[in-house]
Amino acid sequence: MINSKHKYSLAHRIKSSWVSYLMLIPFFSLVLFFIVIPVSAAIVLSFTDFNMVEFPKWVGWLNYQRLFIEDQTFLIALKNTLFFALVNGPISYIFAFIMAWIINEMPRKFRVFMTVVFYAPSISGNIYFIWTYLFNGDQYGIANSFLMNMNIIKEPIQWLTDAKYNMTIVILIQIWLSLGVGFLSFIAGLQSIDISQYEAGIIDGIKNRFQRLWYITIPNMKSMLLFGAVIQIAGALSVGDVTQALTGGYTSMNYSTMTIINYITDYATQRYEMGYASAIGVVLFILVVVCKKSLFRLFRS
């Protein structure tokens, strides 16, 4: 490390770290304008009543009060979101890692091809269409006609409308979509593990892939794994696009697939209550931070 903490005063340390600050300026000035300021504004808004047309009115804790004490629908959204996160999060995470690992174990020629195959959903535009196609509620829709021809069902099922089914479908689709940044970064991370570590491992008595995976690969990837987990958690709790596009989010039957994000969008775009929406956003944010912190602790072990 360049500067050690103990010997110098704060002012001195700041002065001598000028290079570090210099390198940080380009990026962080952007962050200041496009992230810090808007986020702070949003947090401030959460203490106001803002209908997006007239000037915000300060209401203090009123929004939060309403959120925690009176709002029943929020609980539904919360429940849905947590359910999604708990089912999706681990599954997608493990799925991304396993796929990355499998691809890494393959001969070099196939790797790029396989990566393309698995990353494909994220590249193609308009991915939701294929699912509406499959799970169309018409009796001639693919899934329905298949099941009816097999005599498994007699009447067509409204997959995306009926509260009994739409949640499951959305979870499936979300998992299918889950090979994104995490997947790619795992691959990048796996690539960078030093070969000599593996060689040393063989000498130390590691016999097959699985042992290699457990004893060498995973420990080396710790920081990558943590990164992937954080992304995954932030993503899982921020599910909103899929539910909105496929089942209507806040208009789904009895709010069955409404996540917190959908709820926020509802308040922001339909009800014009931006203050309340911001408050929900802040709560979501805190939720994510809490999860992240627990993840960090988990990974330290």
Partner 1 sequence: MVLPFVYAVASSFKPPTEFFLFPPPFFPINPVFDNYKDLSVVLSNMWVPFERYVFNSTVIAAITSVVYLFIAAMSAFPLAKHDFPGKKVFLSVITLALMFTPAITGIPQYVVMTQLGLIDNMWGVILPALSSTLGVYLCINYLEIIPDTILESARIDGANEIRVWWSIIMPNIKPSLFTMLIFEFQAIWMSSGGNVLYSEQYKTLPAALGQVATAGIARAGVGSAASVIMMIPPLVIFIISQTIVIDTMTHSGIKG
Partner 2 sequence: MRINRGIALILVLSIFIFNISHIAYADNSGTDKQTAADHSVETIRQNSSDLVGYDAYIDTFKGNDVSGSTYELSSDKLDNELSQNIEILNDGSIKTTETNSKIVIPVDLVSDGLFNVKFEYSTIDSGVNPISFRFYIDGELPFKEAGIMELNRLWKQEEPIKSDLNGNDMLPNMVVLSDWQKYIAVDTERLFEEPFKFLFRSGHHTITLEFIGGIIGLKNLCLVPPERLPTYKEYLENRKDIPKYSGDSITMEAENIHTASTMFLIPRNDMSSPYTQPFSLENTKLNILGGDSWKIPGETASWDTSGFIKTEALYRISFRFRQGISNQSNVYRRLVINGETPFAEANKIAFKYESNWQSEYIGDYYVHLKPGDIISLECVLGNRGKILGEINKLVNSLNTTYRQIIMVTGSTPDSYRDYSLTELMPNLLSDLKSEKKHVEKIVEMLSTERKEYKSQMGFSTLYDAIRLLDAIIKNPRSITKSNRLSVLKSHISSIGSMIMSLREQPLTLDSITFSSGHTEIPKDNPDFFGEVKYRFDRFMTSFKVDYTMISDSDSHGVKVWVNTGRDQATILKQLIDNDFTPRKKIGVQLQLVNGSIIEANLAGKGPEVALQCGDADLMNYAIRNALYDLSSFDDFESIRENFIPSAFIPYQYHDGYYGVPETMSFLVMFCRDDILDELGLEPPTTWQEITEKTLPILNQNHMQMGIGAIASAQSLFLNMLYQNNGKLYADDFKTTALDSEIAHETMLFATRLFTDYSCPQSYDAVSRFRTGEMPLFIDNYALYNNLSYTLPELKGLWSMVPIPGTKNSQGKINNTQLVGSTASVMFKSVKNPEKAWEFIKWWTSTQTQTWFGNRQESLLGASGRYTPANINVISKLPWNQEQLDVLQSQVDVIQTLPQIPGSYFLGRALNNAFLTTVLSGGNAREELLKWNEQVNMELERKRLEFDFKPTSYR
Q: Which residues would be at the binding site for partner 2 (CB under 8 A)?
A: 51-54, 136-141, 145, 148-149, 151, 155-156, 158, 161-164, 250-251, 253-254, 270-272
Cβ neighbours for 208, distance < 8 A, ≥ 6 positions apart: none
**Residue list 205-234, contact with partner 1 (CB under 8 A):** 220, 223-224, 226-227, 230-231, 234
The minimum distance between CB 126 and partner 2, in angstroms, equals 16
Cβ neighbours for 230, distance < 8 A, ≥ 6 positions apart: 292, 295
Measured CA to CA, the distance from residue 283 to residue 212 in angstroms comes to 42
Chain centroid to CA 140: 34
The minimum distance between CB 164 and partner 1, in angstroms, equals 23
CB 160 within 8 A of CB 253: no
- Which of 5, 7, 154, 297 is close enough to bind partner 1 by CB under 8 A? 5
The minimum distance between CB 40 and partner 2, in angstroms, equals 17
Decide whether 54 or 204 has the Cβ nearer to partner 2: 54
The minimum distance between CB 127 and partner 2, in angstroms, equals 20
The tokens describing 175, both together, are 């998992």
Residue 272 touches which member of partner 2, partner 1, none, C-beta under 5-8 Å by kind: partner 2
**Residue list 84-143, contact with partner 1 (CB under 8 A):** 108, 111-112, 115-127, 129-130, 133, 136, 138, 140-142
The tokens describing 250, both together, are 């806040």
Q: Is 51 helix (H, G, I), strand (E, B) or coil?
A: coil
Question: What is the signed CA dihedral for 250, 252, 254, 255, rounded to 10 degrees?
Answer: -40
How many secondary structure helices (H) and strands (E) does the chain include? 17, 2
In the 8-state DSSP scheme, what is residue 1? -
The tokens describing 54, both together, are 């007239």
Residue 250 touches which member of partner 1, partner 2, none, C-beta under 5-8 Å by kind: partner 2
Based on the shown chain and the rule CB under 8 A, indicate whether residue 27 belongs to the binding site for partner 1. Answer: yes
The minimum distance between CB 139 and partner 2, in angstroms, equals 7
The minimum distance between CB 160 and partner 2, in angstroms, equals 9
Residue 292 touches which member of partner 2, partner 1, none, C-beta under 5-8 Å by kind: partner 1
